[in-house]
């Protein structure tokens, strides 16, 4: 069973990367860009058939390691 | 709109303090004003508990250009060169978010240095963690180390040294102290004092967001179990912007358009604007609608208290705006005039065409509360350690145990994550007694060392205070530098406790005595109180960062033994003091007894004699003797070169443990070739310096005659193991 | 000899490389990334550092700057281009060199002195060294783990396009002497015409005896006519 | 109009981060983990009301800057 995890900076937390990337996009001629924020992405393959249990596992991974909950939020999706 | 009781409390102010606020304002304060007072009056900005004691420290001599009171201290190193340096703590934020906490600590101290017109040339740090057995330690260690590296490496300033220690006392309160050293032209130092009326107040750097609001208040309150859950908005560092800000400021500083400059550190826009106005005896008026904001709908309260990083405030001379703006545009940084200096002596803030705050500057600065806190001095531990009552242990086992302990292990795992070579002036990296950094394009260098010894300070704060200054002095001497001046970071528990305050007062007394005797003034520093959790304070941990000068690049020494057949001498007398020693701590988990006494007269005598030998080219390698005593220091010299040592038993003292592991102060190991022995005996005699031969350099065997024989390579393996094992992913 | 050193926001080895070049009497101009013209020069250097903070991917953003258009066309015409560390990353991102520089296998920034072996001195950049010589150089990077596909790797190996590989003090090239996980211990590569060199180690940091060794000087010496 | 972009390393490219993260997860007691791969995530806000046009813009951003197509694949989703 596969899960997709996206980890994003909490609102109000400075995103230095997003800032520079957004500026560069504008410089190379991309218009209409309101904002861009950068985060992390994980593709996780679990040996688990119960999707509830799987999701719980992934949540545990996020909390214990993948996300830094002081500055980041995470989202889990089954794929 | 007035403020409530709860709000006053939530801002960490007492009701007596609020009464004062009302008196100064002549009315109740509004919430914004309360926030401003709280930021300025808290321990972190006002030094209300420490100021009366800090005044005792010696801060002047003929080389001091600027002592404490500015962003950093400045000393004269000749040829119009000035060295600008300071150390600062970022303890609380680093415990909550180790990477960002440590990174922004480095960013903050760098700004303190380049604000004064200096290009930073070196970074150092002192980091203290809880026991390796504590489940948080591993994560904190790796986060802090990569945070320090992540920031310094990116800005391109070499991190050339520091110290790392572990002790239970820091389990819930780690220490992250960062030091920055910069180089300036002594005739072009920039200060924070504002001058002149109607001068433009300019905001430069990053935009303001909601980060770290109340960071300064956090640093002034102790932790409880909920602190981790509270998740205050921690600041995220942006070293890239810092690098741009650094280059832009230094570029602007080439001409004379800046009247005054101040970084926005703790309590951001509030403290920077007030500091400038207060020092210049002026008023300041700001239009907050002009402040560059990162988020929508930021309130005046948020703008004034935000601790967003990488920002500066400037006061520019008339008609200089346009040229200055061009520079900041080039570096893609915000540059906005947000206000002006006035003759009102008040801080006036406007927002949406309304006056939202109006406070007399003096009330925020000079008239901030000052406390003479009650203190009780600790009783000195007197008991002597009876070595014969301890369990028997072999000398070589005791040595290996110390060498493989977290506190004495080789720190390459850490230092390999720091770029130590960028800027191409690092002559000596970490691993020796001091780092050595060349003054760019010149035939001279500075030496830098950072030291602390919390165990000694806990056992006897005054002796500990003295000792740590002396050890720092010794470390500078050991590379051939003439010690010049220090900065210090005083990490303590709550000043509201009389015993903690007693430790603080006594440590300062010790530091003062040593600095005065050694002509080693304090030019800058920082105090970090409230390092305690659930009412448990850390050991008193003053950290000393010292700087010395080397005027001959050919006469720099290190701890590496050089050649077979050379002799190693102990300079200074060995009594065999084991109280508070690494020997007891690492082998018997004991920390009993008083710390070793400091005899400042011997300290100076021995140090100056060693320095003379280095300058004459007679001392080929030098290492001071500190934690672990003679045997550990000898092992460190041997491991550094890979050459072995044949060590002789002492002629007089009987107890070998006391001789080899005793931590008597004021001692050095020096290597010299046999045919120089005669020459130095005369010199030592003349100066009344005790010395004895302790070892001879040999191939690859490290041995004490008739006691044990080990391979130097095995010492290295034992010394290199701990960090790798502790941090291994397996 | 004239050289141009390209400076990006966040470059931090630009001064270091200029000092090394000056020592060998190169006339060096520092070229700000916003420039649209490159002065005539015998050597173009893209220095190390953290251009644009290494954000997104190291080198990715610098590769989009004005001056890079000029660098690319100079490179295609056969000018000598040297990219060190972040400069190597930029050369990869702009397509002048092939492959990718991934995160170090240990996921940590690595800064230390290492050894590299010269596999071939048959190039303008290494001709003053001997093949098989072992140099001590310094590395300092987060992303130096070179990776490329099998086909390109064979091409590199078969055409002497890999001038230096990481090794130990005795010259052995193996897993233990590989600091960052780089495929086949690759420390630097050429383009097909050997006029463009990208390398992770910093030769400019080994150009002064007071600091360490002068093992890096040979590179700049080789580049002099 | 908002888009989510995920960028992942191509399958034949070594993923040092994913490898170490996976190992660490196992160490802290997460079982049943078959594999984990790490990538980047972007949240892009465009001033554009036509979703086709929007998507094309985002694709352009990916190709020009966000992804290094020699080693990375990207995926775009409207959110
Ligand atoms: N322990 C100390 N010894 C000497 N000076 C100190 C000490 N602690 C703080 N200072 C001085 O007090 C002033 C204010 O310090 P601080 O609030 O840390 O400055 P900043 O706001 O620039 O970070 C500085 O000039 C600093 O050097
Ligand atoms: Mg400051």
What is the reported pLDDT for B358? Answer: 96
Interface test with D, best of A33, A54, A60 (most D CBs within 10 A): A33
Active site annotation includes C13? no
CA atoms of B397 and B574, how far apart (whole Å): 22
SS3 assignment, position A75:
strand
pLDDT, position A56: 92
Question: B233 and A16: CB-CB below 8 Å?
Answer: no
Model confidence over B628-650: pLDDT tens digits? Answer: 999 999 999 999 999 999 999 99
Q: Give the per-residue pLDDT at C136.
A: 97
| Rounded percentage of chain B residues whose pLDDT exceeds 70 | 97
Digit-coded pLDDT (tens) for C61-87? 999 998 999 999 999 999 999 999 999
Tell me, what's the pLDDT at B225?
A: 52
* Band of pLDDT at residue B214, cut at 50, 70 and 90: low
Is ligand 1 within 6 A of the CB of residue B266?
Answer: yes
With both helix axes pointing from N to C terminus, report the angle between B600-615 and B498-518 in degrees, rounded to the nearest 10.
Answer: 40
Q: Which two tokens stand for residue B426?
A: 């690092």
Is C167 annotated as catalytic?
no
Q: Which of B11, B53, B90, B408 is catalytic?
A: B90
| Inter-CA distances, B564 with B37, B585, B630, B646, Å | 66, 34, 20, 10
Distance CA B521, CA B510 (A): 13
User: Which is more confident, B167 or B683?
Assistant: B167
Among the partner residues A39, A47, A48, nearest to D41 by beta-carbon distance: A39
Both tokens assigned to B96: 């909550």
Residues 6+ apart with CB under 8 A from B259: B194, B195, B196, B199, B315, B316, B317
Note if C85 is an active site residue. yes
Q: What burial letters (b/e) apply to B379-395, b meaning 16+ CB within 10 Å?
A: eebeeebeeeeeeeeee
Q: Which of B240-249, B647-656, C98-107 has the lowest mean pLDDT?
A: B647-656
Cα–Cα distance list, C86 to A43, B276, B342, C142, D72 (Å): 29, 40, 48, 10, 20
Tokens of B608: 């100056």
Ligand 1 neighbourhood includes B561 CB (under 6 angstroms) = no
| Per-residue pLDDT tens over the stretch B331-343 | 999 999 999 999 9
Is the predicted pLDDT of residue B417 greater than 90, yes or no?
yes
User: Ligand 1 centroid vs B526 CA: distance in angstroms?
Assistant: 4
Strands B159-166 and B119-129: parallel
pTM of the model: 0.94
The structural domain count of chain D equals 1
- Cα of B264 to ligand 1 centre, how many Å? 14
Q: Which two tokens stand for residue C5?
A: 């050193």
**Could you tell me where the beta strands, DSSP code E, fall in B14-173?**
64-66, 73-76, 81-89, 119-129, 159-166
| Nearest Cα residue to B418 out of B402, B431, B434, B433 | B431
Q: How confident is the model at residue B228 (pLDDT cuts 50, 70, 90)?
A: very low
What is the per-residue pLDDT for B595?
94
End-to-end alpha-carbon separation of chain A, Å? Answer: 8
pLDDT in tens, B514-524: 999 999 999 99
Instruction: Supply the pLDDT for residue B221.
Output: 58
**Which numbered atom of ligand 1 lies nearest the CA of B527?**
8
CB B504 within 8 A of CB B53: yes
Distances from the Cα of C205 to the Cα of B312, C142, C214, angstroms: 33, 18, 8
- Count the alpha carbons within 13 Å of B359 in the hemisphere toward its beta carbon: 32
Burial of B715 (0-12, 13-18, 19+ CB in 10 A): buried
Q: In angstroms, how far is CA C80 from the centroid of its own chain?
A: 12
Distance between CA atoms of B491 and B468, rounded to whole angstroms? 14
Give me ligand 2 centre to Cα C24, in Å.
Answer: 41
What is the predicted pLDDT for the residue at B2? 75
Q: Which ligand is nearest to the CA of B267?
A: 1
Atom of ligand 1 nearest to the CA of B488: 1
Inter-chain CB proximity C55 and A27 less than 8 Å: no
Element holding B604 (H helix, E strand)? helix B600-615
Res B232 pLDDT > 60? no
Q: Which residues does B289 contact at the CB level (< 8 Å), separation at least 6?
A: B350, B351, B352
Residue owning tokens 């390393």: D9
Whether residue B251 is predicted with pLDDT greater than 60 in this model: the reply is: yes
Task: Specify the pLDDT at position B634.
Answer: 98
Q: Which pLDDT score, from 0 to 100, does residue B546 have?
A: 98
For residue B224, is pLDDT > 70?
no
**Exposure class string for C134-162: b at 16+ Cβ within 10 A, else e:** ebbbbbbbbbbbbbbbeeebeebeeeebb
The residue whose CA is least distant from atom 6 of ligand 1 is B525
pLDDT beyond 90 at B223: no
- B422-436 pLDDT, tens digit per residue, is 999 999 999 999 999
CATH number (domain holding residue A52): 3.30.1280.10
pLDDT in tens, B93-127: 999 999 999 999 999 999 999 999 999 999 999 99
* Domain interval for residue A66: 2-78
User: Under a CB-based contact definition with an 8 Å cutoff, are residues B103 and C53 in contact?
Assistant: no
Mean pLDDT score, D25-51: 91
CA dist list (Å): B543 to B66, B116, B203, B465: 20, 23, 33, 9
Expressed in angstroms and rounded, the spacing between residue B117 Cα and the centre of ligand 2 is 13
Cα–Cα distance measured from residue B626 to residue B189, given in angstroms and rounded to the nearest whole number = 37
The pLDDT assigned to B169 comes to 96
pLDDT band at D29 (very low <50, low <70, confident <90, very high): confident
Check pocket membership of B69 for ligand 1, CB cut-off 6 A.
yes
Pairing of strands C27-32, C2-7: parallel
Q: Which of B68, B87, B93 to mutate to test the pocket of ligand 1 (most atoms within 8 A of CB)?
A: B68
Q: Report DSSP state, residue B596.
A: P
Residue B288, pLDDT > 70, answer: yes
Q: What pLDDT shows up at residue C20?
A: 95
3-state DSSP percent of chain D in helix, strand and coil, to 5: 35, 35, 30
Contact B59 CB / ligand 1 (< 6 Å): no
Task: Tell me: pLDDT of B653 over 90.
Answer: no
pLDDT value at position B229?
A: 39
Q: Which of B212-226, B265-279, B700-714 has the lowest mean pLDDT?
A: B212-226
For the segment B215-241, the average pLDDT, to the nearest whole number, is 63
Below-70 pLDDT ranges, chain C: 225
How high is the pLDDT of residue B25? 94
Q: Is the dihedral of CA B408, B409, B413, B418 positive or negative?
A: positive
**pLDDT exceeds 60 at position B216:** no
Residue B189 has pLDDT above 60, yes or no: yes
pLDDT of the residue at B220: 54
Contacts of A28 in chain C (CB under 8 A): 64
Confidence bin at B227 (pLDDT 50/70/90) = very low
Catalytic residue of the set C13, C85, C94, C167: C85
CA dihedral B262, B527, B546, B73 (to 10 degrees): 30
Q: Is B427 on the interface with C (CB under 8 A)?
A: yes
Strands (E), B297-399: 311-316, 334-342, 346-351, 354-360
Contacts of C62 in chain A (CB under 8 A): none
Average pLDDT of chain B, as a whole number = 93
- The pLDDT assigned to B219 comes to 52
The C-alpha of D13 sits at a distance from chain C's nearest C-alpha, in angstroms, of: 8
Rounded Cα distance between B718 and C7, Å, is: 45
CB B49 within 8 A of CB B529: yes
CA distance, residue D3 to nearest chain C CA (Å): 18
Helix, strand, coil shares of chain B as percentages rounded to 5? Answer: 40, 25, 40
Pick the CATH number of C2-223 from 3.20.20.150, 3.90.79.10, 3.40.50.880, 1.10.10.10: 3.40.50.880
Q: Give pLDDT, residue B231.
A: 39
Judged by a CB distance cut-off of 8 A, whether residue A63 touches chain B is no
Length in residues, chain C: 225
pLDDT at B483 (0 to 100): 98
- Mean pLDDT of the B671-685 span: 91
List residues bridging with B263 in a β-sheet: B312
Nearest chain A residue to C51 by CA: give it. A20
Q: Where are the domains of chain C?
A: 2-223
Please, where are the H alpha helices in B91-221?
Answer: 91-96, 98-114, 137-155, 215-218
* Mean pLDDT computed over B524-550: 96
User: Is the Cβ atom of B70 under 6 angstroms away from ligand 1?
Assistant: yes
How far is the CA of B237 from the CAs of B98, C217, D78, in angstroms? 12, 36, 31
The chains in contact with chain D, meaning 3 or more Cβ pairs closer than 8 Å, are A, B, C
| C neighbour chains, 3+ CB pairs within 8 Å | A, B, D
Whole-number Å distance between alpha carbons of C174 and C17:
30
Cα–ligand 1 centroid distance for B523 (angstroms): 9
pLDDT of residue B275: 93
């Amino acid at each position: 069973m596969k899960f997709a995890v996206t980890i994003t900076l909490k609102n109000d937390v400075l995103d230095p990367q997003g800032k520079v990337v957004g500026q560069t996009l504008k410089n190379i001629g991309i218009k209409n860009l309101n904002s861009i924020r950068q985060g992390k992405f994980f593709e996780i393959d679990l040996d688990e058939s119960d999707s509830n249990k799987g999701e719980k596992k992934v949540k545990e991974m996020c909390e214990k390691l993948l996300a830094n909950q002081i500055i980041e939020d995470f989202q889990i999706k089954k794929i | 709109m007035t403020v409530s009781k709860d709000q006053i409390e939530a801002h960490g102010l007492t009701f007596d303090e609020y009464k004062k606020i009302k008196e100064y304002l002549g009315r109740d304060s509004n919430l914004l004003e309360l926030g401003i007072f709280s930021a300025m009056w808290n321990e972190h900005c006002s030094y209300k508990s420490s100021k009366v004691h800090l005044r005792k420290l010696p801060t002047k001599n003929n080389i001091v250009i600027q002592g404490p009171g500015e962003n950093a201290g400045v000393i004269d190193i000749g040829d119009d060169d000035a060295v600008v340096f300071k150390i600062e703590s970022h303890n609380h934020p680093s415990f909550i978010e180790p990477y960002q906490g440590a990174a922004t600590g480095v960013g903050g101290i760098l700004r303190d240095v380049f604000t004064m017109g200096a290009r930073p040339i070196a970074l150092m740090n002192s980091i203290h963690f809880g026991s390796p057995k504590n489940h948080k330690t591993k994560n904190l260690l790796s986060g802090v180390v990569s945070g320090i590296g992540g920031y310094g490496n990116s800005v391109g300033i070499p991190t050339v040294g520091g110290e790392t220690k572990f002790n239970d006392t820091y389990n819930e309160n780690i220490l992250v102290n960062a030091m920055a050293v910069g180089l300036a032209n002594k005739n072009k130092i920039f200060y924070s004092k504002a001058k002149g009326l109607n001068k433009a107040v300019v905001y430069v750097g990053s935009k303001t967001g909601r980060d770290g609001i109340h960071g300064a208040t956090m640093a002034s309150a102790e932790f409880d179990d909920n602190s981790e859950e509270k998740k205050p908005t921690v600041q995220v560092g942006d070293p890239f912007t810092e690098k741009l800000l650094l280059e832009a400021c230094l570029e602007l500083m080439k001409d004379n358009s800046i009247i005054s400059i101040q970084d926005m550190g703790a309590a951001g826009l509030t403290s920077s604007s007030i500091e400038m106005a207060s020092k210049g005896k002026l008023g300041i008026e700001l239009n907050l609608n002009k402040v560059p904001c990162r988020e929508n709908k930021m309130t005046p309260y948020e703008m004034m208290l935000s601790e967003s990083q990488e920002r500066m405030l400037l006061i520019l001379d008339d008609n200089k705006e346009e040229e200055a703006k061009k520079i900041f545009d080039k570096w893609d940084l915000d540059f906005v005039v947000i206000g002006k200096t006035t003759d009102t002596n008040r801080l006036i803030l406007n927002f949406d065409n309304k006056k939202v705050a109006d406070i007399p500057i003096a009330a925020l600065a000079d008239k901030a509360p000052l406390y003479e806190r009650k203190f009780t001095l600790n009783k000195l531990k007197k008991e002597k350690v009876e070595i014969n009552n301890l369990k028997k242990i072999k000398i070589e086992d005791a040595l290996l145990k110390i060498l493989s302990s977290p506190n004495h292990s080789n720190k390459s795992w850490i230092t390999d994550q720091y770029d130590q070579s960028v800027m191409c002036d690092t002559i000596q990296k970490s691993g020796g007694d001091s780092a050595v950094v060349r003054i760019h394009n010149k035939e001279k260098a500075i030496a830098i060392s950072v030291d602390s010894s919390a165990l000694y300070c806990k056992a006897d704060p005054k002796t500990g205070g003295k000792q740590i200054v002396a050890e720092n002095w010794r470390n500078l001497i050991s590379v051939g530098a003439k010690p010049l001046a220090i900065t210090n970071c005083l990490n303590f528990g709550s000043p509201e406790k009389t015993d903690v305050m007693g430790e603080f007062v006594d440590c300062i007394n010790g530091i003062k005595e040593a600095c005065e005797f050694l002509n080693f003034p304090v030019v800058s520093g920082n105090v970090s109180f409230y390092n305690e959790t659930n009412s448990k304070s850390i050991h008193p941990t003053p950290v000393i960062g010292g700087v010395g000068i080397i005027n001959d690049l050919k006469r720099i020494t290190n701890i590496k033994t050089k050649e077979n057949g050379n002799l190693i001498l102990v300079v200074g007398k060995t009594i065999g003091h084991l109280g508070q020693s690494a020997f007891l701590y690492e082998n018997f988990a004991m920390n009993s007894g008083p710390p070793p006494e400091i005899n400042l007269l011997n300290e100076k005598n021995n140090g100056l004699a060693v320095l003379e030998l280095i300058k004459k080219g007679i001392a080929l390698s030098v290492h001071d003797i500190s934690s672990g005593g003679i045997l550990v220091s000898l092992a460190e010299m041997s491991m550094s070169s890979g050459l072995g040592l044949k060590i002789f038993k002492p002629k007089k003292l009987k107890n070998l443990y006391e001789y080899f592991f005793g931590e008597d102060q004021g001692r050095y190991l020096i290597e010299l070739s046999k045919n120089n022995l005669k020459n130095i005996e005369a010199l030592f005699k003349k100066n009344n310096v005790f010395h004895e031969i302790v070892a001879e350099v040999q191939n690859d065997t490290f041995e004490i005659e008739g006691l044990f024989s080990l391979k130097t390579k095995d010492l290295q393996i034992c010394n290199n193991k701990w960090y790798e094992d502790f941090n291994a992913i397996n | 000899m004239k050289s141009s050193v390209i400076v990006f926001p966040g470059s931090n080895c630009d001064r270091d490389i200029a000092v090394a070049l000056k020592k060998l009497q190169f006339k060096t101009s520092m070229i700000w990334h916003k420039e649209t013209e490159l002065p005539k020069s015998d050597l173009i250097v893209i220095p190390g550092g953290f251009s644009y903070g290494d954000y997104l991917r190291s080198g990715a953003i610098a590769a989009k700057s004005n001056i890079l258009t000029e660098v690319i066309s100079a490179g295609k015409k056969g000018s000598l281009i040297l990219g060190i560390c972040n400069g190597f990353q930029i050369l990869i991102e702009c397509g002048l060199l092939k492959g990718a520089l991934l995160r170090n296998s240990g996921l940590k920034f690595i800064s230390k002195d290492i050894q590299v072996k010269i596999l071939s001195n048959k190039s303008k950049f290494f001709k003053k060294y001997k093949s098989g010589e072992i140099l001590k150089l310094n590395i300092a990077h987060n992303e130096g783990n070179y990776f490329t596909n099998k086909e390109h790797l064979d091409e590199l190996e078969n055409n002497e396009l890999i001038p230096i590989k990481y090794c130990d003090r005795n010259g052995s090239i193996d897993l233990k002497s590989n600091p960052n996980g780089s495929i086949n211990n690759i420390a630097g590569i050429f383009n097909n015409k050997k006029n463009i060199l990208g390398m992770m180690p910093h030769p400019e940091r080994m150009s002064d005896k007071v600091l360490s060794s002068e093992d890096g000087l040979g590179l700049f010496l080789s580049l002099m006519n």
